[in-house]
Structure 1
Amino acid sequence: MTVGSQFGRTIANASSVAILIAMMGCRGDQRSHPVPETPMPPKTVLLAQMMRELSDKPGFTEAFIAQIDKSGKNGPAAMTPPLITRLRELILGKDWQRLDRFPGWTMREINPTVRVVGHFAGKDAALEGMSERHPGASASAKETQTKLKEFIDLGDHSLEKKETISLDERSHLPGFSSKGLVSALGDGVVRGDDANPAIAPLHAESQRLADVLNRLAMNGVEGSAPAVVTISGKSVKTPEELIGALMQSGHDVLVSDARYFANFGHFHYQGKDVMMPFWVNSEIVVPGTHRPLLVPVSHAEYEWTVSGPKINARVSWYYGVDGKAEFRVMDTLDQAWVLGRHAHEYRDADALEVTRLIGLFTIAYAHQHIARPAMPFGGYYGLGVCQDTVAAIEKKMTGKATLFPNTADSSLFDDPNDAEVNRLIAAIPKDRAGSLPEPERIFGSLPTDDLSAITIPGLSADLIAAHQAWHDGKLQRTTSWRHRAFMALLWFLGVVALVTAVFKARKRLHAT
């Protein structure tokens, strides 16, 4: 073999190795790195286990997908046509490994699928649904009231007339009922969660408090008739004034920044919970592997715990996939694997400030709903997900925003009547343009400080390893295949230059 041919083969082999290295692990192929299926928490099964047993039953897969495709208030992500197609492919292809890490995409890959919905709705894809009228444009009182009824739940209260609401007597609303919350699909499958025995007994008071807080928030929307709430001789007109009046009348009020793993499906199978996270590629390399760290999307909300002589209630506030940004009851039983953590707790003046800000966000989302009624998913995703508002208020209260992902398009928050909200949304990190999410936000979104307490198979070990690498300053990030190919090319050219230099040096040496 000649020196030239040996040199050529060396270069060819080097380039092949470089390209192979560059392309390894680009999408974190779970079939190359099997997803653990054990251990599982008690009375819990993986989604794949349920689908293994039921997907061959005539009509079940389509009935299941139809349920997932419905807009639910607790969904972690808008189920766009590409995501639904992907889900169907995994089930029909019996790709159970990837189904248990669905979809496993980066935010860079998920973002365009939401814009596709804008095309289906006949809207401008750049805004995932352009408004019919610019924010702040005038609307009649009747038009405003009609649109707000679709946006926010007020119970028996009205936006059309002035009213005074007394909280001095106990609530006469009905207690908890699972009607409309739980439905049987057959084959031992149930969708929806039943009562939380620790909180559901408070349902009547909690529902009344949520309705009243929503009604007071709507006082800040043009076209709504004013409402006044009275308690212990005090009259209030805003949510924060009501919380202040409760404090002054002997009630203990705790406001919590609460975080959970988002439950993608809320399914139960043969009496067991079905573990269904919605997985996102964090673009962090799991140490010691070529795999990206896949993390379940978290759900974030603010929660009010009120205890006292007249009212004992638990309510939450979040912006959901139903398009509603509102106070809600929170008395269904979470599945054990979703866990739960209070990232921050606020009392006294801080609790009042968080409540004030939540009132402003409720008004701002009402303005968005009026101005952009045709946005897909009620504006969810384009105007943010549940994390955005919590992150924005967290940054105002603590100086940091530790939630991922945030999807709000800041350009949509341009109503001058909502200037403070606009500034808060603009100040938080966004996950729309493909930038790498900060590790602080990935770990900050988790619903526990004890990573070993996570019961999703395989996740705890990956998180512990990645967290340690982050702590040690050794965390590595994944990159796109284009970047890998470019780096491989640079590596290849470097090898060529090095071999050429050695070859020339040896030739000069033989010549002397």
Structure 2
Amino acid sequence: MPANTVMLSQMMRELAATPGFTDAMLAQLDKSGKKGPALMTPALVKRLRELILGRDWQGLDRFPGWTMQAINPTVRVAGRVVAKDQGVTDVAARHPGAPAGLEAAKSAVTTGQIKDYVDLGDYSLERAEVVNLDTPSKLPGFTTDELVGELGAGVVRGDGANATLAPMHAESQRLADVLNRLSLNGLDGSAPVEVTVEGQGAKTPQDLVKALMATGHTVVVADARYFANFGHFHYKGQDVMMPFWVNSQIRVPGTRRPLLVPVSHAEYEWEVRGPKVNANVSWYFGIDGKAEFRTMDTQDQPWVLGRHAHEYRDADAVEVTRLVGKMAVAYVHQHLARPELPFGGYYPLGVCQDGVAAIERKMTGKDTLFPNTADGALFDDPRDAEINQLIKAIPKDREGGVPEPARIFGSLPTADFNAITIPGLAADLESVHAAWQDGSLERTPSWIRKVTLRVVGVAALGTLAGVVVWRRRRNR
């Protein structure tokens, strides 16, 4: 365990009996977090409540520990909404004469329509302007307002400032805003915005990266992976370790246990250093329903670790930025076509891993993230043909298929198992990795196989009983 860190079970042992605290905590978990990995659907909330009230502390520290096929039904209502276009119908009913479905996505887009899906700061889709990055940003500095809140009983939710990145918040926020706005130059009817730095102009995100490089800035784009922090809780000044566990359907050698792995968070990160701009921003599709550039200046808890699976420079950095910009536009089209999707489309349109995995496959020929949940059938807007193809090419885990070990290990935020501080996980990973390498890896039975075996067993018993009865009657 890292210093100054406690398990969720330890916190709940002390607080479960506090009147109203469990409900307050569950309500907080139902809100969007920066790196929240899961949808707190009713089934998951119910399971978490059962573990707490039943004082199943061991189960709580491996919550929920389900396979993807067990998690899928808890969010299948979102898939039904998409399949039947109920959301589009509802919107048309509430706004007679308004375009619906793909026609809505193809109509002129306003800032008001996309404000819930992309943050543009002070910029507007309706206003053309030139933004100069030569002067320092006038945006406010870092604050924990609306990021950190007291739950009572010594519990705080939310993380404070990253000592290295928070001082650059104003510059980082401006860079995130202009990258979002430049991405949306690609929307039909959007007024063009240009960003300049030392006389170099840009009207797309990739052109801004080129301009920064041409003016003496270094730009590194990292494919970054972390353990997703499910709670972002702090208890009496200590970090609370709260991963979200998924059953990999791989057997831990020498046991009957499946390998449970914490869900990881993936994002692209831009580090810009130079004479005019010094900033760090990230991009991912989050549980808040936004596929956008964001600041990244809060302090991660030590147990989430962090690894750059890939780093891109020069032309590769430009290409990743181009693909991210096009993906941002594709997600806006999705939101406009399907505005009633629960959670802003999070899960049916993918989770944070999907976009990163899709671009990783384009850049490296491999995809090493798990899980991916995007329904490729939804990516059907012909204007987004390149992104549609990338999303459809990556493995899908919506139906609970068995993930490849390369994706399980590729999602980890470290290649050094000894660096992992979540109790028991390092030993399991070491054992499974060795079995994978020597070819002795075993899978755990799937629920389909278990049900099949039970049906076969019941049928066999029924047949045997029938034979016994028949023989007795014959002997008589």
Q: Same fold (TM over 0.5)?
A: yes
Q: Is the 8 A contact 2:105 2:336 kept in 1?
A: no
Task: Note closer, same or farther for the CA distance 1:282–1:350 as it changes in structure 2 (3 Å cut).
Answer: same
**Correspondence for 1:82:** 43
Aligned counterpart for 2:114 among listed residues 127, 134, 148: 148
SS in 2 for 1:280: strand
Instruction: Note the residue ranges of structure 1 that are not aligned, 5 or more in a row.
Output: 1-39, 497-512
CA distance in 1, matches of 2:277, 2:283: 18
Q: Is the 8 A contact 2:353 2:372 kept in 1?
A: yes
Superimposed CA distance per residue, residues 420-441 of structure 1 (whole angstroms, 9 cap, x where no aligned partner): 0000001000001221011100
Task: Note closer, same or farther for the CA distance 1:477–1:254 as it changes in structure 2 (3 Å cut).
Answer: same
Counterpart residue type for residue 33 of structure 2: G
Q: State the 1:72 CA deviation.
A: 2.5
Aligned counterpart for 2:193 among listed residues 227, 237, 243: 227
State whether structure 2 residue 425 is matched by structure 1 residue 462: no
Q: How does 1:232-251 map to 2 (within 5 A)?
A: 232-251=198-217
Q: How does 1:14-163 map to 2 (within 5 A)?
A: 40-116=1-77, 123=81, 133-135=100-102, 137=104, 140-141=107-108, 144-163=110-129
Superimposed CA distance per residue, residues 277-319 of structure 1 (whole angstroms, 9 cap, x where no aligned partner): 0000000000100001000000000000001011111000000
**Correspondence for 1:201:** 167
Counterpart residue type for residue 400 of structure 2: G
SS in 1 for 2:102: coil
Instruction: Note the residue ranges of structure 2 that are not aligned, 5 or more in a row.
Output: 92-99, 464-476
State whether structure 2 residue 223 is matched by structure 1 residue 257: yes
Structure-2-length-normalised TM-score: 0.91
Q: Is the 8 A contact 2:105 2:333 kept in 1?
A: no
State whether structure 2 residue 177 is matched by structure 1 residue 217: no
Q: State the 1:479 CA deviation.
A: 1.4
Q: How does 1:492-503 map to 2 (within 5 A)?
A: none
**Correspondence for 2:262:** 296
Task: Note closer, same or farther for the CA distance 1:136–1:180 as it changes in structure 2 (3 Å cut).
Answer: same
Task: Note closer, same or farther for the CA distance 1:50–1:138 as it changes in structure 2 (3 Å cut).
Answer: closer
**Correspondence for 1:453:** 419
Counterpart residue type for residue 137 of structure 2: S
State whether structure 2 residue 241 is matched by structure 1 residue 275: yes
Percent of pairs identical after alignment?
67
Q: Is the 8 A contact 2:105 2:334 kept in 1?
A: no
State whether structure 2 residue 344 is matched by structure 1 residue 344: no
Please give the root-mean-square deviation of Cα atoms over the aligned residues, in Å.
Answer: 2.1
Q: Is the 8 A contact 1:184 1:191 kept in 2?
A: yes
**Correspondence for 1:7:** none
**Correspondence for 2:393:** 427
Task: Note closer, same or farther for the CA distance 1:160–1:62 as it changes in structure 2 (3 Å cut).
Answer: same
Task: Note closer, same or farther for the CA distance 1:326–1:128 as it changes in structure 2 (3 Å cut).
Answer: farther
Counterpart residue type for residue 134 of structure 1: G
Superimposed CA distance per residue, residues 341-364 of structure 1 (whole angstroms, 9 cap, x where no aligned partner): 000000000000000000000000
**Considering only CA atoms, is the larger Rg found in Structure 1 or Structure 2?**
1
SS in 1 for 2:413: coil
CA distance in 2, matches of 1:356, 1:218: 12
Q: Is the 8 A contact 1:118 1:128 kept in 2?
A: no
Q: Is the 8 A contact 2:265 2:352 kept in 1?
A: yes
Q: Is the 8 A contact 1:80 1:117 kept in 2?
A: no
Task: Note closer, same or farther for the CA distance 1:219–1:298 as it changes in structure 2 (3 Å cut).
Answer: same
Q: State the 1:231 CA deviation.
A: 1.1
CA distance in 2, matches of 1:451, 1:293: 14
Q: State the 1:486 CA deviation.
A: 4.6
Q: State the 1:480 CA deviation.
A: 2.4
Q: State the 1:60 CA deviation.
A: 0.5
